[in-house]
Structure 1
Amino acid sequence: MKFKPYEKYKKVDLPWLDEIPSHWEINKLKYKFELVKEPSIDKDPIVLSLTQRGIKIRDIESNEGQLAKSYEGYNTVKKGYICLNPMDLESGAASISEYNGVISNAYFTIRPKGFDINSDFYSKYFNLHYKKKIFYGFGKGVGRPEGSGGRWTLNRETFTNFPILSPPKEEQDKIADFLDHNLAKIDEFVELTERQIELLKEQKEVLINDAVTKGIDKNVEYKDSGIDWIGEIPEHWEVTRLKYLTNSNLISLSNNEEKDKEIEYIDIGSVGFFKLKLEPVKMLFGQAPSRARRVVRNGDIIISTVRTYLKSMLYIDESLSGKIVSTGFSVLTPKGGVNSNYLKYSISGNYLIQNIIKSSVGVAYPAINDDRLMSLKIVYCRDKKEQEEIINYIEKETNKIDRTIELYKNQIDLIKEYRTSLIASAVTGKIDVRDF
């Protein structure tokens, strides 16, 4: 898609921009917007939350995330107001509200002072300042000495005096319409591609589950497994319990460890379904949480025993050997003669996951104790050659799926880069969309 520039430009003295269309102006934010300071008195308000995907109505009944004791005193938000996050200049966001409600007064909430402002245009304009790290250059560190990793924030004075571009109102309208039209198509592509990725992940789970419960040789005799969600299994396979294949929690740190001993800690939030979402955190033992106790070794498998519906499980390879994990994990160490790689795939079978969830106790934080976990039944093939054949089959087929997933992810990254570039070009006047 090719767009033409404006005919004339003028130089400007902004750190992030060197020229703008000749008829555009630059104003301080406070001349075009006012900060909203209207504490709510509503005892049962619609509570809003500012996210990367816009302003959403918050579900205060779900107990997810931090909840306030009372929402009285929260800032009033009306349709068309813009909310910005001054506390996170690296991954924060700005968005126009489509709702009347209340939002934390830690956010900046602004509304236009006059009729020459299109809030949709400026919502995209301000959000670009997060994407391009423009606000970040004007932030200040709080909480810790500068340079030591403290929070990077934008204060009110800096924000209200911030220079903003001011195109004529009719151009703001055109740019907003142009972006709404094109971003909708981009977002639809991203949504469809993300859906394809989820379908491929489901296909991968089905493939693994089928391989570890039915085998890959379909010409064998079958027998009833006696386990829900499975049905028949190869006749020469067996149904056993985890405790006969693994030991649990063999190595733990004692409370008498040296306080200045450095450890690398993995908590439950860092682990997804057989993937590490966040790298281990280095810390001193004396400063580590009391749950940082279990030692893992190469070939171990860790399974979260709390909030089991999240399916937090991980295979420990050589790179993670010696790390410390939360006592919220059960650390399974394969017994002698048990192939840890094969066991990993057996444990990732959907039937076992569902049984773990079903056997958990509690509503908000369902959990399973270690004894109950170890007593769960698992389908197991003892034949070493067949194990290797199954492992090779799973890895070959899942690698194909993973490569396709990676291709889709790269496409999403590229289109998101184009999305940001298109917004930047439109709201800073690099392209002329008045004929759109």
Structure 2
Amino acid sequence: MNLAPYPGHKRTGIEWLGAFPSHWVVKRLRFATERIEQGWSPQCDNQAADDDAWGVMKVGCVNGDQFDASENKALPPELDPKTEYELRPGDVLISRANTRELVGSAAIVPCDVRSKLLLCDKLFRIDLSPEVDAAYLTFCLRTQAARHQYEQEATGASGSMQNIGQDTIKNLILPFPPYSEQQQIAAFLDWKTSQIDALIAKKRTLLEKLKEKRLAVITQAVTKGLNPDVPMRDSGSGWIGQVPSNWDVLKIKFVTELASGHTPSRSVEEYWIDCTIPWVSLNDSKMLREKDAISETHYQISELGLANSSARLLPAGVVVFSRDATVGLCAITEVPMAVSQHFIAYICGEKISGKYLLFVLKAMNQHLQSLQTGSTIVTIGMPEVRSLICPLPTSAEQADIVDHIDSVTARIDQMLANAETAIARLTEYRSALITAATTGKIDVRGWQPLESSP
């Protein structure tokens, strides 16, 4: 799609905003709104309200550019709802407290929203002036220009929770074309982003199927072996099922040394100076979810911190395994590392290879979910860890199984990488398109959707 630029531009004098069409105006959002308010957050259980019951929205309801009505908490029956905070179709919502990447996320409440949903105090609701189109403004709030302003003003002690105040919203500097042009830009972006979103959804579906296939390859190999003609016997374990009759089935602790970790005291500053020792923590969860091996960590600890904690430096080749938060994330260490108390480390003996054990742990993921306890932060207890069972072929067969899995999953991993790259490029294009349209870099005044378009 080739869209021409506007014929005339003028400079804003604002480096990060650049030039804009000469008939547009740039102003602070306070001059385009009539009211900004935040809601009410009573103590609620972390479960969604029934469709006919009152619910208080969670801040995540505006993540991902779309309003999600299911992101709510049921209002306790003993509390009367503050009906002045009930959401209305067309409300523009902005998160005022979230991670650095998500604070300032914006969405419009759709026209078919159900009743009895209440604004929470971590969301702003903006009542707009008549000359501002809600859909256009919401697209503006998703641009890098708006994000730049949020990040300049956000406060908070850590990246895990950042806050922006009403003044940050009111002082946002945004470009505004005439009202009819705002509507045209919003219609164009609705049409175009829906196409991009459909492509991204297809790629995400492909990702899930590839991940399922990868896990199926691993599970089949570590529980059934590579020869389909060998005699089988019952393993005595539900998640393993039948195994080749010449395999052992035993507890992992009998063929490994089990080590746990610790966190050096945060209150002793000296423990966190000159940190050079890789230290596996929950901050490495994303890497563990995506990789089979880990060579660096988000945090390091010092030799002094290690010496004054119950953690120990473990050799390379150890299999680390998360037992808290997201249970079952695992990888092999490629360099000596320590681990936090949220992890188990398996030091493999001569009867089991680290790579084979890694694949076994990945295969038992669903079984691990059945063992976990807790609601806010799930965990798997040490008695359950010590009872984990492993199918065990000979060392030679383990090596063959690992080679087979590596060969097949390498092809799957390449397809996963290609799909991830496609999603990243589509997401980047989506963002660039929104920025181009809402800053006047492309002229969509004469655009009309194709009749064959969805």
Q: TM-score normalised to the size of structure 2?
A: 0.78
Distance 2:34 2:304 in 1: 48
Give the aligned partner of residue 21 of structure 1.
21
Q: Answer yes or no: is 1:302 the counterpart of 2:357.
A: no
| 1:261 CA displacement | 2.9
CA contact (8 A) 1:95 1:127 kept: no
CA distance in 2, matches of 1:230, 1:159: 55
CA gap 1:254/1:110 in 2 versus in 1, 3 angstroms? closer
Q: CA deviation at 1:269?
A: 5.7
Q: Is 1:331 the equivalent of 2:341?
A: no
Question: Judging changes above 3 Å, is the alpha-carbon distance between structure 1 residues 105 and 293 closer, same or farther for their aligned structure 2 residues?
Answer: same
| Matched AA of 1:372 | E
Mapped to 1, the partners of 2:9 and 2:289 lie a distance apart of 54
CA distance in 2, matches of 1:39, 1:221: 65
Structure 1 residue runs without a partner (length 5+): 63-68
Structure 1 residue matching 2:257: 3-state secondary structure:
strand
Q: Say whether the 8 Å CA contact 1:48–1:55 is kept in structure 2.
A: no
- Note the C-alpha offset of 1:378: 1.7
Once the two structures are TM-superposed, the CA of residue 108 in structure 1 deviates from its matched residue by 3.5
Q: Does 1:270 align with 2:298?
A: no
Give unpaired runs (5+ residues) of structure 2. 44-53, 449-454
Once the two structures are TM-superposed, the CA of residue 424 in structure 1 deviates from its matched residue by 1.2
1:342 maps to which residue? 356
Q: 1:153 to 1:73 in 2, by over 3 A?
A: farther
Listed one character per residue, the Cα deviations across residues 355-399 of structure 1 (whole Å, up to 9, x for unaligned) are 3333445666654432333233221102x2222211111111111
Deviation at 1:120, TM superposition (A): 0.5
Structure 1 position 379 matched with structure 2 position 391 = yes
Q: Which 4+ residue blocks in structure 1 deviate beyond 6 angstroms?
A: 69-74, 149-152, 250-255, 284-288
Letter in 1 for 2:392: Y
- Which amino acid counterpart does residue 415 of structure 2 have in structure 1? T
Change in CA separation of 1:210 and 1:19 when aligned onto 2, cut-off 3 Å:
same
CA shift in 2, pair 1:105/1:235, >3 Å: closer
Alpha carbons of structure 1 residues 203 and 30: separation in structure 2 relative to 1, 3 Å: same
- Please, what is the CA RMSD of the aligned residues? 3.8
Task: Quote the offset at 1:294 in angstroms.
Answer: 6.2
Tell me what 1:128 maps to.
143
SS at structure 2 position matched to 1:121 = helix
The 10-residue stretch of structure 1 (39-48 or 198-207) with the greater mean CA deviation from structure 2 = 39-48
- Taking a change above 3 Å as real, the CA distance of residues 18 and 228 of structure 1, as seen in their structure-2 partners, is closer
Structure 1, residues 305-334: CA drift from partner, whole Å, max 9, x if none? 345xx4432223123x222322x3332221
- Report the Cα offset of residue 20 of structure 1: 2.0
CA distance in 1, matches of 2:289, 2:398: 19
Read off the aligned partner of 1:423 and give its amino acid letter.
I
TM-score norm. by structure 1 comes to 0.81
Task: Check the 8 A contact 1:242/1:378 in 2, yes or no.
Answer: yes
Identify if the C-alpha distance between structure 1 residues 104 and 400 changes in structure 2 by more than 3 Å, giving closer, same or farther.
Answer: same
In the alignment, does 2:435 pair up with 1:421? no
Letter in 2 for 1:305: R
Which residue identity does 1:234 align to in structure 2? P
2:368 maps to: 356
The percent identity for this pair of structures is 21
SS in 1 for 2:418: helix
Where do 1:54-65 residues align within 5 Å?
54-57=66-69, 58-60=71-73
The one-character-per-residue Cα deviations of 1:132-180 (angstroms, maximum 9, x if unpaired) are: 7431474265659xxxx89876554454243322211111111111111
Which residue in 1 is equivalent to 2:232? 222
Q: 1:74 to 1:402 in 2, by over 3 A?
A: farther
1:176-210 Cα shifts (integer Å, max 9, x gaps): 11111110010010011011011101100000111
The more displaced of 197-206 and 216-225 is: 216-225
